[in-house]
Structure 1
Amino acid sequence: MEENLLSAPALYISYFLKQNRIEYYDRMTEVRRTGNYEQWILFFLRALADSAEDAIRTIDRLSALHEKNEAILKQNVSKKQMGTLSKLYSYLEAHPILEVKKTAESIGISYNAAARAVAVLVEKDILKQQKQVGKTRIYSYAAYLEILRGDM
């Protein structure tokens, strides 16, 4: 963040603490009982290191996915269509689950333009339709979500 490479903190330390909750509670109890902070600090440093390594892996995977999909988007697409697709793709990385009407409103394009762009992303296997509620279709950026969930 200091070098402006990240716009927000990327460490998810609470996940490590949840995975290691028994040890976490044991070490906190040890601090309360004996005042032994050294063992707590070492545990917490391990949490930071593991969380940082996980964040780096996740960011690398997301960056690779972004580059791969950017290349896919440029294939067989007109310049006019590319502008809308770029807007939608940028929005998609911040909102990996979307509905066409809300997305169109959020990025300031017509419903028809958003629907056409979504159809292109589905055709290029970037977006997947998840469900349909009435006439409303919900789409997800499944590969992105899998990386965030640690499924890859």
Structure 2
Amino acid sequence: MKFETFKAGAWRQRYQYKSFEPVPVNHEWIWEDATINTLLEAANRALGELNAFSLIVPDIDLFIEMHVVKEAQTSSRIEGTQTGIDEALMSEDQIQPEKRNDWREVRNYIDAVNSAVVELKHLPLSNRLLKQTHEILMRGVRGEHKLPGEFRTSQNWIGGSSLADAAFIPSHPDGVPDLMSDLEAFWHNEEIVVPHLIRVAISHYQFETIHPFLDGNGRIGRLLIPLYLVSHGLLEKPSLYLSDFFERNRASYYDALMGVRVSNDLIHWVRFFLQGIAETATKGRDVFRQVLALRTEVELAVLTLGKRAANARQLLNLLYRKPIVTAADIERSLSVSSPTANALIRDFEQLGLLQEITGQQRGRAYVFDRYLSLFTS
């Protein structure tokens, strides 16, 4: 299939509405647009640099956890949740009751990402994996009654309050199984010569156009991107997430997807997607570089604590995963007494590594702000 002559699908008349039925994607793809080649080269180069950092940074999984938290918070924000990244790092009892539903959605996303990445070690990227991940995403939150872990059997829509005023009506439920089987085959088809970043660009578009679940399609569709990159060896670790790019360019993101459906403009979508890969990978590389510099500095600082330096290094490792902590978190994670935990907090405050953020006498929380700000700037 040639990008320049691509026909995205057709509108089919249903009872009182029309659904958009996309064409299958599991076949060869070619293009004449030279800009795509340039963007593809830049995206591959940036992705390779990001992956190199994930191979050389010691204890990289500590920092990957923060990438996952950032992704969960940003991807959920696109869907309307109001949880900040600082709140996503807190425990439920620290969250105001009226904000806990949003908080649970973000925490479910974190659990879903972590579970999916673990499953990739012994299960290929597949519809089965996406269903398992979706089930975790929907557990105990809004949407928990909308067939968690199963493809939809009724019609859904995007935008508007009903099918009558929807901005877009995706595939009829009868076609979802075959379309998703075709998409899964596309991920693993070794008989076609299509670069992986082109495949994942087309895959994200196709997934969002099929909209196979009753709820959670945006989050699963965005998570599909790093899962694809890890499963095909483009990334050693799940260190790249496009939700921040999509959120900052939200109107352009939706316009590019709709442009394919309405105007068959796959070229514009692929360009936009590759730009997002390059920009996000470069930003991720720079964050890792800053993390390494900060880590060197703070680990030298804790050496001044003498006999308490060993516990201090353990606390640093906790803060790399969870940069907002309480004394109880430190006691539990480091298996130390309450006096020891509070002494460590005082040491870290004096070193400028922790700041108290609640202003309370009880249940105080402390933030490693210099580290957290690397993921929020």
SS at match of 2:356: strand
- TM-score normalized by structure 2? 0.37
Find 1:133's aligned residue among 360, 368, 371: 360
SS at match of 2:353: coil
Amino acid at match of 2:243: S
Give the 5 Å matches for 1:1-150: 5=55, 6-7=60-61, 8-75=237-304, 77-78=305-306, 80-150=307-377
Percent pairwise identity: 24
Q: Higher RCO, 1 or 2 (CA under 8 Å, sep at least 6)? A: 2
Deviation at 1:132, TM superposition (A): 3.7
Name the Cα RMSD after superposition. Answer: 1.9
- CA separation of 1:138/1:4 partners in 2, compared to 1, >3 Å: closer, same or farther? closer
Query: Aligned equivalents of 2:285 and 2:330: distance in 1?
Result: 29
SS at match of 1:102: helix
Query: Retained in 2: the 8 A contact 1:27–1:39?
Result: yes
Q: Which moved more, 1:126-135 or 1:25-34?
A: 126-135
- CA separation of 1:81/1:14 partners in 2, compared to 1, >3 Å: closer, same or farther? same
Deviation at 1:121, TM superposition (A): 0.7
SS at match of 1:136: coil
- TM-score normalized by structure 1? 0.88
Q: How many residues of Structure 1 are paired with residues of Structure 2 in the alignment?
A: 148
Query: Retained in 2: the 8 A contact 1:127–1:140?
Result: yes
Amino acid at match of 1:66: R
Q: Which has the higher strand share?
A: 1
Deviation at 1:135, TM superposition (A): 2.4
Query: Aligned equivalents of 2:280 and 2:322: distance in 1?
Result: 23
Q: Which has the higher helix share?
A: 1
SS at match of 2:365: strand
Larger Rg belongs to: 2
SS at match of 1:38: helix
- CA separation of 1:124/1:113 partners in 2, compared to 1, >3 Å: closer, same or farther? same
Deviation at 1:72, TM superposition (A): 1.0
Alpha-carbon deviations, 1:93-117, whole Å to 9, x = none?
Answer: 1110111022211221111111111
Deviation at 1:136, TM superposition (A): 2.6
Query: Aligned equivalents of 2:264 and 2:290: distance in 1?
Result: 41
SS at match of 1:45: helix
Query: Aligned equivalents of 1:66 and 1:3: distance in 2?
Result: 14
Unpaired runs of 5+ in structure 2? 1-50, 62-236
